[in-house]
Every structure is written in C-alpha cells, then in structure tokens.
Structure 1
Amino acid sequence: MITTRILTGESVGAVLDDLARLRIAVFRDWPYLYEGDHAYEREYLKVYQSPGSVVVAAYDDDDRMVGASTGAPMEDHAGDFATAFANRPERLEEIFYCAESVLLPAYRGHGLGHAFFDGREAQARALGRRYSAFCSVQRPANHPLRPADYRPLDDFWRKRGYEPLSGVVAEFDWKDVDAPVSTKKPLQFWMKTL
C-alpha cells in the first residue's frame, strides 16, 4: 500500500536525507542524467523548509519514502528564475513553483503523479497564488543516452491544464553521468492558472 503525506516547514527537515537519496537515484535516469552529490542535495533542499513550501511524500507499506514532490513560492527561487520570467506579465509573487517530482520506477503508474500535483496545487491555492508553474529539462531527440521507449510527460501535464510558456526557459548547470564536467541545460517552463 502506498500512502502520501503533506509536509511543510520544519517537518521537512526530518526528511531531507530521504529526499536527497531519491533525487540522486531518480534523476540519474533519462532525461536528467544527473550525477548527484549528497552534500549539494542536502543544502539545496533546505529551501523547502521555508514558509509556504511543501513536500508531498509517498511511502510504501514499510514506511520507506519511495517518491516525493516539492513546491515553493516562486520568489524563493527568484535568483534562479527571475531572468526567465523577466518579460512575462505575471509577477513571481503570484506563482507557485512546482519543483521536482521523483518516484522510484517500481511505484509508477499508481496515480502518484496526480497526488503530487494535487498536493502542490492545494498549497498554492492556500497561499492565494494565481498560477502554478514547473520546468522540464530539454534534451535533443537524438541524444545518445535517450532510451528507445522513452515517453515524454507532455500529455499528462496538458491534461492537468499546463501549457509550455513560449520563450520562458531557465538554464541550470549539473554534471551528467557520462560527462567529466558540469554543463548548462535548458529547462522549459509550463504554467496554468489556478
């Protein structure tokens, strides 16, 4: 049996190590190909202890975290995303950022993607946000590590009411599993009105 829990504020601190492990494990796969670092993850994830942030965590029947989804007021990430949204009419203070969703492969296909979005969108509404947004990494279709059976999540996101924002792209550095150094990757923003 899989259950979900909504974590906010200080309760997030108790699960930072679990979140870090999950991010490193799941983001190692396509399309992120992230060569994770536990110390970096622990530091990065501290932002989700801020007021207004949320973690929707999924646990299996032995109380092991098998998935999680994070979200925060967009202004908590202003340093990373202000440039991407500079020419948009929406203010960062109107947007809730649905950050990462990570789920171990054995637990996919059980509706947790919807539970993750439901929990984050509920937090956004509770904060009075008008918009919910997230970003997805963009990789070339002919990338040598792209699995032959890969199916993008675009249809799922559109069914949830999200659409890509033309020209709203952020760039992040990370080290790919097959690369000697970190490189910039484009991340396309998607958004919906709540």
Structure 2
Amino acid sequence: MPPSATQPTIERLAGDAVLDVLDTVARLRISVFRAYPYLYDGDLEYERDYLKTYAESKGAVVILARAPSGDVIGASTAAPLSDHQPQLAKAFAENGIDPNEVFYCAESVLLPEWRGYGIGHAFFDEREAAAREQGYSIVSFCGVVRPADHPMKPDDYKPLDGFWTKRGYRVLKGIEAPMSWRDVGDTQETKKPMQFWMRRLDRDDDGVWSAR
C-alpha cells in the first residue's frame, strides 16, 4: 500500500511543459525499468534526449502521478505513432494498419510502493482521453517478451496481461518491431522481442488480433 491514505494527483503535460520535468522523469524511468522484465541499464543523457521528443511532437502527452508531497511517483507517455520510433510505424504500415490512425502508448513507470492504488488505470484513462480528443480510434502499446525460464525472473513476478485485457486491449499477432537496449549486467545492447497490444476505442473486440 502507498505510504499515505491521501489520493495522489494526476496531471497531463504537453509541449514545453514537458521540458520542466525531463530530469525527474528520466531518473524515474531508469530506476523503475531496471527491474524485471525490462532490466534496462539506463543512461540519463539518452533518456533526456528521448523524452524531449514528447515536447516536440504535436499530440504527444506525458502523464504524471504525484504524491501528496508533490514528488513525482510515476509517469506515462504517449504520442501519435507516426511521430514515434520509425521502426514501429513501418511495422504497422507493412501489416496493413495506417500508422496515422494509431495513438501509441509508449511507457508507464510507477514506484513499487504506489502500485495497486489505481494509478495504472489513471495513466490509461488520460492517454486514451488524449487519443479521443485528437480523433484517434486505435490505441496500441507493446511490452517486452522474456523467456519463461529467464534467470533474473523473480519468483513472485506477475505479468500485466490480465490488467491490459480488462482495459480492452488484445494481443496483436503478426507485427514485429524489436527494440534494443543494454540489460543490467551486460556490456552491449541486444534486441528484444516486443509483443504489441491494441484497442479500438470505438468498439469492443475479443480474442487475438492478427495483422492483415
């Protein structure tokens, strides 16, 4: 449970307002993503440059969660897919999905002590609201796929598949766009398989989606 019974606050930033929290969000991302399943050995300079794209992209948003003290305890990002990493847009286009119709929910990070407090739902609510306001009917995100027997997998690890499914997202088969980063303990970057999930905001879908 969180360290306080007071509800944290959620705010949505866009444009130049994102620049004011670059370092705070960068450090939070490096800290949270270091844990399994991402095992991301992050770099502050890279994170700053990456997050600047959300200030520069028209339609991009950064959602912050703040503790009652005002400290940032979580952050979530989203942007039009056509403004994000080009390999993602290419993968969708090659599989019959127009990238210009997709709003991409990039990443969410939240300090462990604040999980289970509804903040994850708030992050999706805000990003989906931003998508609707801009006329998008498709929202997508991806998550890293690790082997079931990965040596750094904690015994109590629980994937978020059930949470995403309850939010209306479905696995999208047939689209591959690996991402690369350096794992904790490694000396160089390696490619990671990423599983894409999608949701149509204008209707409910069941089962697994297939490209084309």
TM-score relative to the length of structure 2: 0.89
* Corresponding residue for residue 149 of structure 1: 156
- 1:24 and 2:51 correspond: no
Q: Contact 2:95–2:174 at 8 Å: present in 1 too?
A: no
Match among 120, 125, 129 for residue 118 of structure 1: 125
- 1:83 and 2:90 correspond: yes
- 1:38 and 2:51 correspond: no
Q: Which has the higher strand share?
A: 1
- Quote the sequence identity (%): 55
* Corresponding residue for residue 159 of structure 1: 166
What is the rounded CA distance, in whole Å, between the counterparts of 2:101 and 2:109 in structure 1? 25
RMSD: 1.0
Counterpart amino acid of residue 7 in structure 1: L
- 1:14 and 2:14 correspond: no
Provide structure 2 residue ranges, at least 5 long, that are not aligned to the other structure: 1-5, 202-212
What is the rounded CA distance, in whole Å, between the counterparts of 2:136 and 2:127 in structure 1? 11
Moved over 2 A (4+): 86-90
What is the rounded CA distance, in whole Å, between the counterparts of 2:93 and 2:193 in structure 1? 16
Q: CA deviation at 1:78?
A: 4.8
* Corresponding residue for residue 60 of structure 1: 67
Counterpart amino acid of residue 46 in structure 1: K
- 1:170 and 2:177 correspond: yes
Q: CA deviation at 1:193?
A: 0.4
What is the rounded CA distance, in whole Å, between the counterparts of 2:170 and 2:139 in structure 1? 11
Partner of 1:113: helix, strand, or coil? helix
Partner of 1:116: helix, strand, or coil? helix
What is the rounded CA distance, in whole Å, between the counterparts of 1:117 and 1:48 in structure 2? 17
Q: CA deviation at 1:168?
A: 1.4
TM-score relative to the length of structure 1: 0.97
Counterpart amino acid of residue 157 in structure 2: Y
Provide structure 1 residue ranges, at least 5 long, that are not aligned to the other structure: none
Q: Contact 2:93–2:99 at 8 Å: present in 1 too?
A: no
Number of aligned positions between the proteins: 194
Q: Contact 1:57–1:67 at 8 Å: present in 2 too?
A: yes
Q: CA deviation at 1:9?
A: 1.1
Cα deviations by residue, 1:88-141 (Å, 9 ceiling, x for unpaired): 332111100001000000000000010000000000001101100000001000
Partner of 1:133: helix, strand, or coil? strand
Partner of 2:174: helix, strand, or coil? strand
* Corresponding residue for residue 103 of structure 1: 110
